[in-house]
Structure 1
Amino acid sequence: MASSKHSFVLPILVIALFTLQAEGQGLKVGFYDKSCPYAEKIVSGVVSQVMAVAPSLSGPLLRMHFHDCFIRGCDGSVLLDSATKQSEKFSPPNLSLRGFNIIDRVKTALESKCPGVVSCADIVALVARDVTFATKGPFWEVETGRRDGKVSLFNDPINPVTGLPPFFSNITFLKQSFALRGLNTKDLVVLSGGHTIGMSHCSSFDSRLYNFTGKGDTDPTMDPNYIARLKLKCKPKDQTTIVELDPGSFKTFDDSYYRLVTKRRGLLQSDAALLDDPETKAYLVQATSHGSTFFKDFGVSMVKMGRIGVLTGSQGEVRKVCTKIN
């Protein structure tokens, strides 16, 4: 299986290092209350305008926060351009991200009112919350006060140990990857629920349809009726077609993602992997019940994720333009 190469134990020292960085000291709700009192209103205003005409950007903009925080911490490093295409933005796991122009649009609006005050890292965090709320999802108070990093490297997202967890990850690797950042198993299954909005390229799951073990077979853990439907949309080696992660509900933040996964209709291997652990499997069931705490839990886990490896105080800088260091 493709994900078997990831079933190793991460060094304890590395885990401890990331966990220490995950405490988020220096962040607080309302950090800009005095320095830029209308900051959050400006952000939500731009997001509302964008969602009215391009709701499909909600998934990529939410995922951008995840991709930023998991590499070098929540420091806006995923936004940096590179003339030689050697920054994170150009690394394979980030090529499917969209909405960078929306972050730039928010930054321009903020700079016109409060120049040099609101960091790009905070913009990414606030936009993630606002697109979630705009798609009928939960609202949570975002801690702010992050500063922007000055380093962004192409190889960081694809590092086999500390990079972004691939879409073909098994449950063992997923749990290790989250633990590396101070996030637990509940955070893993809760944040995976973000797949209720957004799309995925056929190339991210076509092996499950056509060549799962290299013998021209399908993934036996996937509902065969779902496989048949996906084959109508995704032909072998299709690199361009995109498919809804949460069919019929991909523009609405709800619990239907969990219903699909429990029916063996999780699109990615990393989705299906949530059935392979007692704790994540129990949450899948609980999230589809009348006693679901998913919306509340999502806000809690997003705040926790937003504390990973942050730069605060005199660390880093506040970029004037999100795509380049000052």
Structure 2
Amino acid sequence: MVTLKMSLSCFFLLQISLFLLFSFDPTNAHGLKVGFYDNTCPKAELIVMKSVSDVMKKDPTIGAPLLRMFFHDCFVRGCEGSVLLELKNKKDEKNAAPNLSIRGFEVIDNIKASLEKECPGVVSCSDVLALVARDAVVAMNGRSWGVETGRRDGRVTNINEANSNLPSPFDNITSLITQFHSKGLDKKDLAVLSGGHTVGIGHCPLIANRLYNFTGKGDSDPNLDSEYAARLKQKCKPTDTTTALEMDPGSFKTFDDSFFKLVSKRRGFFQSDAALLDNQETKSYVLKQTKNHGSTFFEDFGVSMVKMGRIGVLTGRVGEIRKKCTMVN
């Protein structure tokens, strides 16, 4: 009996030890870890970084779409590269309405080709997206972070899933919080990741309702600063479907924290940006980033990007390592 009790005690101690080991080791999250390719493809991250740097020297505006591409991948089926797949019938995520304005897919394809040349069948397309997002931010004068890698690629892409799963620039705060929560992201992550709108452009159709017909009575959004609204109206006429505007005027190619200053002044470009002021927690975060020496955005962004990068990942033997990002093997 004593021996049995001792055996059971040892068994439970072992279970507790294993629980602690796997619960608190950050490199074990979902099978991802920083430096996953250190042994199998040591030059992988260097190849990605140099490629992004070279591309952005030629076109500094490509950084924002490359960052956005990772967001749009992770929010549909998880971070498994489904946004890169192409179907002959065009019913893929690339052709979903929210993705039609994304560009830079050829950048991903070229980087993947370079990686296949260096170490065939090793680096996944989904990891390329994660690394490119980080390196694009750095190239736009943002701060680096340790990117967890080890993802494998999915084999499915669906236009309807992209249309229904991606947050909309027209969303209110309740909808945004619900969507982020469904992906395991909290209100702080929502505020932090919205800060990605400090770079890039938006098109007139996405703000036309805020300017000309917010409640269906030919009015403007009362939460939009009137001077800013007047300025936007000069550039965006009601029927304009092509004009692009800087979301962060004056620094739309620089990754900084000025987005939060704009939102605090009711000059957020999208309705979803303005919505951050409609919740106490997200509003508090926005205002904190506007104070001198109070901004934590750069550090927070890396943390939230790592957290987002864990959504629905495929690891181990699940999925595959695509040879080409546009098609399954």
Q: How does 1:233-248 map to 2 (within 5 A)?
A: 233-248=235-250
What is the alpha-carbon distance in structure 2 between the residues aligned to residue 91 and residue 242 of structure 1?
20
- Offset at 1:99? 0.6
CA contact (8 A) 1:67 1:164 kept: yes
What is the alpha-carbon distance in structure 2 between the residues aligned to residue 24 and residue 127 of structure 1?
21
Q: How does 1:1-326 map to 2 (within 5 A)?
A: 24-159=29-164, 163-289=165-291, 290-326=293-329
What is the alpha-carbon distance in structure 2 between the residues aligned to residue 239 and residue 156 of structure 1?
25
Kindly provide the amino acid, as one letter, of the partner of residue 177 in structure 1. Answer: Q
Partner of 2:20: none
What is the alpha-carbon distance in structure 2 between the residues aligned to residue 229 and residue 312 of structure 1?
49
**Percent same amino acid at aligned positions?**
62
Partner of 2:9: none
Kindly provide the amino acid, as one letter, of the partner of residue 128 in structure 2. Answer: I
List, as ranges, runs of 4+ consecutive aligned residues in structure 1 with deviation greater than 6 Å.
Answer: none
CA contact (8 A) 1:77 1:88 kept: yes
What is the alpha-carbon distance in structure 2 between the residues aligned to residue 148 and residue 288 of structure 1?
39
- Offset at 1:217? 0.9
Q: Secondary structure at the match of 1:243?
A: strand
Q: Which has the higher helix share?
A: 2
Task: Identify unmatched segments of 5+ residues in structure 2.
Answer: 1-27
Q: Deviations over 1:211-247 (max 9, x none)?
A: 1111111111100110111111111121111111111
What is the alpha-carbon distance in structure 1 between the residues aligned to residue 180 and residue 285 of structure 2?
17
What is the alpha-carbon distance in structure 2 between the residues aligned to residue 253 and residue 264 of structure 1?
20
Q: Deviations over 1:25-81 (max 9, x none)?
A: 110100000110000000000000011011101111101100000000000000011
What is the alpha-carbon distance in structure 1 between the residues aligned to residue 316 and residue 235 of structure 2?
50
Across the aligned residues of Structure 1 and Structure 2, the Cα RMSD in angstroms comes to 0.9
What's the TM-score once normalised by structure 2's chain length?
0.90
What is the alpha-carbon distance in structure 2 between the residues aligned to residue 232 and residue 116 of structure 1?
52
CA contact (8 A) 1:266 1:272 kept: yes
Kindly provide the amino acid, as one letter, of the partner of residue 98 in structure 2. Answer: P
CA contact (8 A) 1:63 1:97 kept: yes
CA contact (8 A) 1:189 1:274 kept: yes
CA contact (8 A) 1:139 1:299 kept: yes
CA contact (8 A) 1:149 1:317 kept: yes
Select the structure of larger CA radius of gyration.
2
- Offset at 1:95? 0.7
What's the TM-score once normalised by structure 1's chain length?
0.91
What is the alpha-carbon distance in structure 2 between the residues aligned to residue 118 and residue 245 of structure 1?
34
Kindly provide the amino acid, as one letter, of the partner of residue 41 in structure 1. Answer: L
What is the alpha-carbon distance in structure 2 between the residues aligned to residue 149 and residue 55 of structure 1?
30
Q: Secondary structure at the match of 1:56?
A: helix
Moved more, 144-153 or 231-240: 231-240
- Offset at 1:24? 4.5
What is the alpha-carbon distance in structure 2 between the residues aligned to residue 249 and residue 227 of structure 1?
19
What is the alpha-carbon distance in structure 2 between the residues aligned to residue 129 and residue 320 of structure 1?
22
Bigger RCO of structures 1 and 2 (CA < 8 A, at least 6 apart): 1
What is the alpha-carbon distance in structure 1 between the residues aligned to residue 91 and residue 174 of structure 2?
30
What is the alpha-carbon distance in structure 1 between the residues aligned to residue 100 and residue 266 of structure 2?
27
